[in-house]
Amino acid sequence: MKPTNKGRDARNPSQAPPAGRQEPPRRKSLEQSLDQRRAAHAWNAVQEMGKSPDAKAAGDFAGHAKKLPMRIRAAGLGQALAFVAAKAKARDAKNAKPGLVALLETLNCWVLDQRELRTTSAGDDPHALIQEITSRDSAFLKRATAETMSYLLWLNRFAEAEGLRGSDEDAA
């Protein structure tokens, strides 16, 4: 059988289009994809934590971010965030964990503000995502969970790339 021109791959420059037919010009998208925006936001968050003079806070941020996807799979988004919020809360100012508060605020900022899913006016409350989860329907929970998991992929990759490592003291 003789090969035909019909199966040509337009992306392969070694295979020219048939005579008389020109390829349409390719448009370059000026808008970033959702995944690129996730990556940029996560990169900025990791860079900010990396600049923190408190190495323990950066370690808490990275360590709990790394464990969070498994906690979400095991218990669900609401319970996983409640666990981080409980660990962030201190009985006194000396034991406060600003890295965990920063993790909650980072997730709030991306899921609620950047993805425009916020319906309450909780402002900078680190519990805003938890409040949204408890007050909205199951469709919101599914969307917030998927978005959080996708975002955490980037956050964890960048934290590891920047050398932010969590301590194993909070392995629970």
Q: What is the pLDDT of residues 72-87, one digit of tens each?
A: 999 999 999 999 999 8
Residue 50 lies in a domain: no
pLDDT at 128: 86
Query: Quick one: three-class SS letters along 90-135?
Result: CCCHHHCCHHHHHHHHHHHHHHHHHCCCCCCCCCCCCCHHHHHHHH
Contact 121, 79 (CB under 8 A): no
**78 belongs to a structural domain:** yes
- For residue 38, being part of any structural domain is answered with no
Least confident of 68-82, 95-109, 113-127, 151-165: 113-127
Q: CA 168 to CA 16: how far, in whole Å? A: 58
**Inside any domain, residue 141:** yes
Q: What is the CA radius of gyration of the chain?
A: 22
DSSP 136: S
**Within a domain: residue 101?**
yes
Q: Which long-range contacts (CB under 8 A, 24 or more apart) does 29-37 make?
A: 35/150, 37/114
Structural domain count, the chain: 1
CATH number at 68 reads 1.10.520.30
What is the rounded (10 degree) CA torsion for 157, 164, 130, 95?
A: 170
**Range of 101's domain?**
55-161
Residue with tokens 């998991």: 149
Q: What is the pLDDT of residue 170?
A: 45
- pLDDT over 80 at 96, yes or no: no
Other Cβ atoms less than 10 A from the Cβ of 168: the count is: 7
Q: Is 16 inside any structural domain?
A: no
Is residue 34 within 8 A of residue 154, CB to CB? The reply is no
Among 1-5, 24-28, 34-38, 122-126, top mean pLDDT goes to 34-38
Which sign does the torsion angle of CA 117, 119, 125, 129 carry?
A: negative
Whether residue 40 is contained in a domain is answered as no
Q: How far apart are CA 14 and CA 149, in angstroms?
A: 40
Type of residue numbered 10: A
Q: Is residue 29 situated within a structural domain?
A: no
| Cβ–Cβ < 8 Å for 45, 107 | no
